[in-house]
Amino acid sequence: MRTTRAFVLALALLSPSTPARAEDTTVKSRITGVDLFKNGLVIVKREVTLGKPGTYVLDDVPSPVHGTFWIEAPGPIEASVKTRDVAVPVGEAGPVDLQQDLAGKSVTLYFKAANRAPVVGTMLKVKPPKDENTSLSPYLLVETTRGRAYVDRSEVSYVEAEGVGDTVMRRRPSLILTWGGTDRAENRVVIRYLTHGMAWAPSYRVDTTDPKTLLLEQHATLRNELCDLEGAEVRLISGYPSVEYAHVRSLLGPRTNLEMFLAEVGSRGLFPSFPMNISPLSNGPLTQQVGGNYRNSPIEIALGAVPTGEGVDLHFQSIGKRTLSKGEVLALTVAKGKADYERVVEWLVPDSRNEYGQLSEHGRDDADDAWDALKFKNPLPYPMTTGPATVSSAGDFNGQRTSFWVNAGEETVLRVGKALSVRTRAAEYELSKPDAERELVWIGGRQYRKATVEGELAVGNYRKDTVTLYIRKRFTGELVKAEGNPRVTLRQAGAYLVNKQNELVWSLTLKRGEDKKLKYSYSVLVQN
């Protein structure tokens, strides 16, 4: 029979045939798989087996992200959340409520006052308040041989009870499945949803002990703040999925009310507190953020990526079946690979002008510095995701930087540390002209003057060996000329501005003690 996929909110959207009324059947579901993002979101796969048509009570109510709760069943099914009396082991029941826990039991109440006689009788069953935040009555109601006794809880020292079991009843939200049934005795039902409570953090170790071949290891650290897992298939997700309603808790959640739901749907960017205190749109490099999964390298990369699949850029890496209790952390090595590599030095010279041709503060503080870097291709059979990478050699720490998204077989450059023995200097100046000779241009109602800028890049190798140096100079304007035959590239950010934003890329080999100077010039429109 073809599987039916039903989308469920607090109310069911399907209308199965109503089965004969029978007692609710309590069933235990099991989490068989979890797929972890890096930002605290997790895709949960929960399975349960249902029998004949009827109503089934599940042992757990999820708190899914709005719009992500789905049921896959071989027949018609509805879901609802209701408050039910549920038998809970005494050790897991939480705060003791003598009135509820001992209802119907023979009890003897002893008092703090030594001269007060104990009360013997049967604890009455009292309907608990619907609102769990309502305070308990200060009195215990006990039926005795003389009538009803109202006993002040604060005066009771201890209680003896007869015929108590290992469980007590608690009013808890329960997930109710109304099952239309099939002709099979056992029916596998799969529940999937997106929720908060688990995350993984990647890291990489790059060993360059061998002068030609590096060893790359990918590590993963997982933290479970969701629930106990037993033998669940765990997969680590790399990529940047769109989860537009990650901050909205579903109406199905037991702690969600209508006011919360409408406020969160309306906010669209105001995030409540999440487990692990992580926002799904955090800008940290370990989260699935579009700004983090790019290559931030000035070196021209020779692309040779191996296709890893079809569809969206998401990778699911299985680490097998795992047992992990709530609150536990797991750290492990996910994969290893070897790759040929080249030691290079890279130097990024930032743009000194804004889009209007005016002088401006440039880039980061370290943008003018030369960096030692490793150039290699990703040797793993799947993409390297964004995360910290530590470089070592012969057991010695060399440095740590962020490694950005790299497809399988794709070339990347990983910075290690500043190249202090490779000295660099960059200078620019605008050629002056008499006011009468200045060329003026009007664009969009604004006046610009056309200026010519000349620049010089100087670099010196003060190491004992030859170095390969990559230089990228960013500039705003039109290139006039440049020494050394650099590659000229139009930067995407400046394609539609008054002044185009470009960059020059040189590849040089500097011998020991060698100095080199490179001159260039470009024209730019400067807004008056």
How sure is the predictor about 161, in pLDDT bands with cuts at 50, 70 and 90? very high
User: Which residue is associated with the tokens 């360059």?
Assistant: 208
How sure is the predictor about 373, in pLDDT bands with cuts at 50, 70 and 90? very high
How sure is the predictor about 7, in pLDDT bands with cuts at 50, 70 and 90? very low
Average pLDDT, whole number, for the chain? Answer: 84
- pLDDT score of 11 more than 90: no
Task: Specify whether the CB–CB gap between 178 and 204 falls below 8 A.
Answer: no
How sure is the predictor about 312, in pLDDT bands with cuts at 50, 70 and 90? low
DSSP assigned state of 17? P
Q: What is the pLDDT of residues 480-504, one digit of tens each?
A: 999 999 999 988 766 678 899 999 9
- pLDDT score of 294 more than 50: no
Residue 89 pLDDT = 85
- pLDDT score of 272 more than 50: no
- pLDDT score of 286 more than 80: no
Report CA 161 to chain centroid distance, whole Å: 50
* 437 SS3 class: helix
pTM of the model: 0.76
- pLDDT score of 277 more than 50: no
In angstroms, the CA 512 to CA 515 distance is 9
In angstroms, the CA 7 to CA 14 distance is 9
- Look at the alpha carbons of 290, 296, 301, 305 in this order and tell me if their dihedral is positive or negative: negative
2.30.30.520, 2.60.40.10, 2.30.30.90, 3.40.190.10: CATH of 103-163: 2.30.30.520
Question: Which of 94-108, 132-146, 465-479 has the weakest average pLDDT?
Answer: 132-146
Of residues 242 and 195, the one with the higher pLDDT is 195
Residue among 509, 525, 493, 448 at smallest CA distance from 350: 493
How sure is the predictor about 445, in pLDDT bands with cuts at 50, 70 and 90? confident
Domain residue ranges in the chain: 4-35+43-88+171-196, 103-163, 198-249+262-340, 345-527
* φ, ψ at 164 (rounded to 5°): -80, 150
Residue 310 pLDDT = 53
How sure is the predictor about 16, in pLDDT bands with cuts at 50, 70 and 90? very low
Residue 268 pLDDT = 58
Mean pLDDT of 34-44: 95
